[in-house]
Amino acid sequence: MKVTQMSTYRSIQYNLDKNSNTLNELYTQSATGKQLQRSSDDPSAIGPVLSSRSQIERSDRNLESIASTQDDLNILDSYLDSAENLLVRAKEIAISGINGALSAEDMQTLADEVTYLQTAMLDIANAKVDSKYIFSGYAEFTKPFSGDPVAYNGSSDHQLVEISPGQSVQNNLTGDELFMSPTDIFATLDNLETALRSGDPNSVEVELDNLSVASEQVLGKRAKMGNINSHLDDVATVTLNVKLQMQEKLSRYEDADLVEVLSEITQAEQAFEAALTVSARVSQLSILDYL
């Protein structure tokens, strides 16, 4: 078959364009570190890449949710610790009040301190974070405790936070379960104050027993929330491992081997230069070269 000069030029131009495109793609890979720039680069990789990216995004959302929940639980624990300490002090006062040898003035002094403990406990129960009451359940903008005797005004609903697909955890305690069930802590402190002011050791001893129940009440709720916080550590570890695995998978499909790319660039540049040389030589040929 006769090969015309025009077909030769077209073949040379095709190879030049092909080598130029290959070189540009390699330059892009070396600059971005990515071998997968568009779906046509490797159609079979699109599914795994999209799946990996989706899982990484989901893991990031879950990790953010876990971190936020643990912040809430840590704040909650600090208030529970304060409430627990107030109850410990109240029990110490009650033990002192049982001593029949105390003077009436001493009993009044103890009663005055219980008044302070009542105020401090109410401040804890009505604590706010970011303008929201932390012990009001879903009624976050409703002051949970008020009145005399103290009554609960919030809801009894627990707030649940999703930390992984299909798994949610409780991140709050309601005021009624913490401060009023089974023992009404405010009523117990109020009764203790009354018993001390009346100088009645027997009544003080009754409230000491109630304070012991109240302490267990707070301690039990604190342990429950602490277990949730510990569980979140485990979930965060698993979620982070999944994210790292997906990142490794994504890297296998997306990331370029820079050493290999640089080697291919060298070869492509040499091929392109050779094609240019051939093109230049062919362009100088004419029919006179054959006469």
Q: What are the tens digits of pLDDT across the range 210-232?
A: 999 999 999 999 999 999 999 99
Average pLDDT estimate for 267-281: 59
Domain 48-249 fold = f41 fragment of flagellin, N-terminal domain (1.20.1330)
- Determine the pLDDT at residue 260: 54
Q: Domain spans of the chain?
A: 48-249, 256-291
Cβ within 8 Å of residue 125, ≥6 positions away: 83, 135, 144, 145, 175, 178, 179, 186
pLDDT digits (tens, 9 = 90+) for 117-128: 999 999 999 999
DSSP 46-115: HHHHHHHHHHHHHHHHHHHHHHHHHHHHHHHHHHHHHHHHHHHHHHHHHHHHH-TTS-HHHHHHHHHHHH
Q: What is the pLDDT of residue 261?
A: 47
3 state SS of 287: helix
Q: Show the tokens assigned to 171.
A: 């991140």
pLDDT at 16 over 60: no
In the chain, % of residues over pLDDT 90: 63
Structure tokens of 234?
A: 């485990």
Is there a contact between 207 and 192 (Cβ–Cβ < 8 Å)? Answer: yes
Q: Distance between CA 243 and CA 231 in Å, rounded?
A: 18
Mean predicted lDDT score pLDDT of the chain: 83
What was the pLDDT predicted at 147?
96
Q: Using pLDDT thresholds of 50, 70 and 90, give the confidence band for residue 48.
A: confident
Choose among 162, 3, 195, 137: nearest CA to 68: 162
233-272: pLDDT as tens digits: 999 999 999 999 987 877 676 654 444 544 555 665 555 5
pLDDT of the residue at 53: 80
Evaluate if residue 3 carries a pLDDT over 80: no
Q: How far is CA 190 from CA 23, 99, 103, in A?
A: 84, 19, 21
Quick: pLDDT tens for 80-113: 999 999 999 999 999 999 987 889 999 999 999 9
pLDDT at residue 5, rounded to an integer:
56
Q: With 70 as the cut, is the pLDDT of residue 4 above it?
A: no
Q: Identify any residues that bridge with 146 across adjacent strands, giving them in sequence order.
A: 151
pLDDT the model gives residue 133: 97
Q: Which residue has better confidence, 80 or 35?
A: 80
Amino acid 290: pLDDT: 43
- The answer on pLDDT for 36 being more than 70 is no
